Amino acid sequence: MLKVHAEFDAALKHLTLALIDATTPASFSKLEIKFHIAHLYEVQGKYRLAKEHYEVLLKEKVLPSHLKADICRQLGKSVLSTNYSESAILSRIAQDKTQNKIIFIKILF
């Protein structure tokens, strides 16, 4: 709710504490909390920081398919919201060798 009400500093503090607290049961998994932290950066307009966090999540060995889909969706929206040109996106495809990134970029076109 803090993220929805644009209380970003409080939201980040809450999510970070939830991430490091191993004793209290949580509604979200650690990976889902990391996703919400990345999304928090995105809604603040910190696209590069959000992208870095999303990409770290995509490298997780055990990533549920629903979370992987959410991450790819958010990366796609991030690309569109930062107004990258088609040629810039296509050159990025040539640089990125991971299949996840190539799939989400191809879906945009």
Query: Which of 28-67 are b and which e, b meaning 16 or more Cβ less than 10 Å from the residue's Cβ?
Result: eeebbbbbbbbbbbbebeebeebbebbbebbeeeeeeeeb
Query: Is the pTM for the entire model greater than 0.85?
Result: no
2 located within any domain: no
Q: pLDDT tens digit string along 22-78?
A: 677 778 889 999 999 999 998 888 888 999 999 999 999 999 999 999 998 888 877
If one counts the domains in the chain, the total is: 1
> At residue 109, does pLDDT exceed 50?
no
Per the structure, the complete domain to which residue 78 belongs is given by 8-108
Residue found by looking up tokens 């959410």 in the block? 70
Of residues 85 and 50, more confidence is placed in 50
Q: How confident is the model at residue 79 (pLDDT cuts 50, 70, 90)?
A: low
Poorest-pLDDT segment among 5-14, 17-26, 63-72, 76-85: 76-85
Q: What HEC string does the chain produce?
A: CCCCCCCHHHHHHHHHHHHHCCCCCCCCCHHHHHHHHHHHHHHCCCHHHHHHHHHHHHCCCCCCHHHHHHHHHHHHHHHHHCCCCHHHHHHHHHHCCCHHHHHHHHHHC
C-alpha 21/C-alpha 97 separation (Å) is 35
Q: How confident is the model at residue 94 (pLDDT cuts 50, 70, 90)?
A: low
What is the domain-level CATH number for residue 28? 1.25.40
Of residues 32 and 3, more confidence is placed in 32
41 located within any domain: yes
